[in-house]
Amino acid sequence: MSLRIDQALARASELSGLSDSADLDVQLLLETVLDKPRSYLYTWPERSLTMPQQQLFEAQLQRRISGEPIAHILGFRDFWTLSLEVDSSTLIPRPETELLVELALERLERRPQRIADLGTGTGALALSLASECKLWQVSAVEFSPAAAALAERNRVRLALENVDVLTGSWCEPLRGQFDLIVSNPPYIDPEDPHLYQGDVRFEPRSALVAEDHGLADIRRIAEQASACLNPGAWLLLEHGYDQAEAVRNILAAEYYQAIQTYPDLNGHDRVTVARMIEAL
């Protein structure tokens, strides 16, 4: 029995309670299985999938029903204006992290600038910023060799010559001074029960969890970055919705000023920015 597109879309009901984006998940599966844009699904709802398409759709839907993140099933996730390859070696880029890109763009000038992205994962932040201005030179640092290889594949596929992927811990592989540093580090408390629910179960703990109630890596970055930033240069950090005050205190104890927190689209405190003092 052949499956029509509208019938396939209705299979989203099998994901209710399992996914908070059930309709979107099924649309994304169908787009890739049919290799058509979303508009096609609603223009031709009565068209049928071929047998191989149907088999692939059923197999992928089952994977989603068993909890696997949609980005891992598709192998790609859209972030900013880019489509990024993703795998289980690192975090799946989140929409709220695009706030870091916006806040960085507001602080960068269209002239040669040196940018670093610490813990780049897929390369999401580094590649998004590099794609906005060819004059900017971006160092993308990643500790996990598998994730660094993934970031490098994304860099090559997107043909972004102004990015260098470096392997190492936070600021350690950086050379020279920078005008802006961004990071979406691990910041989840090891005790957080959310680690055992939903998509995060399929992401590496090293990309999610930090000691000291999730603040250990943010503290290391704040300390190390102060030696790598030019006077007046910016540090932008993503953090948990309830960590803004703690992050501001960490930054205030180092040589930072103009410390400010911004909410994400859900209204949660998500990014804190700070500026290296001009001179001692």
- Residues of the shown chain interacting with ligand GLN in the complex, contacts defined by CB under 6 A: 91, 94, 184, 186-188, 200, 208
User: Least distance from C-beta 57 to ligand GLN, angstroms?
Assistant: 28
| Short-list 124, 138, 128, CA closest to 179 | 138
* Distance, CA of 176 to CA of 204 (rounded, Å): 31
Pairing of strands 163-167, 136-142: parallel
Q: How near is the Cβ of 187 to ligand GLN at its closest, in Å?
A: 5
Find the shortest distance in angstroms from Cβ 96 to ligand GLN: 7
For 17, 84, 191, 240, 245, the CA distances from 13, given in Å and listed in that order, are 9, 28, 32, 31, 41
Q: Which residues contact 142 (CB under 8 A, 6 or more apart)?
A: 90, 119, 120, 121, 148, 151, 165, 166, 167
Helix (H) or strand (E) holding 82: strand 82-85
Rounded Cα–Cα distance for residues 126 and 25 (Å):
27
Residues 104 and 180: their CA atoms lie apart, in Å, by 8
Least separation in angstroms between residue 203's CB and ligand GLN is 8
Nearest to 38 by CA among 52, 51, 23, 50: 23
As given in the structure block, the two tokens for residue 149 are: 């290889």
Closest approach, Cβ 184 to ligand GLN, in A, equals: 5
Query: Nearer to ligand GLN by C-beta: 123 or 186?
Result: 186
- Residue 167, beta-bridge partner list: 142
| Close Cβ partners of 10 (under 8 Å, ≥ 6 residues apart) | none
**Minimum distance, C-beta of residue 217 to ligand GLN, in the bound complex (Å):** 9
**CB 68 → ligand GLN: shortest distance, Å?**
16
Q: Which two tokens stand for residue 89?
A: 């070696």
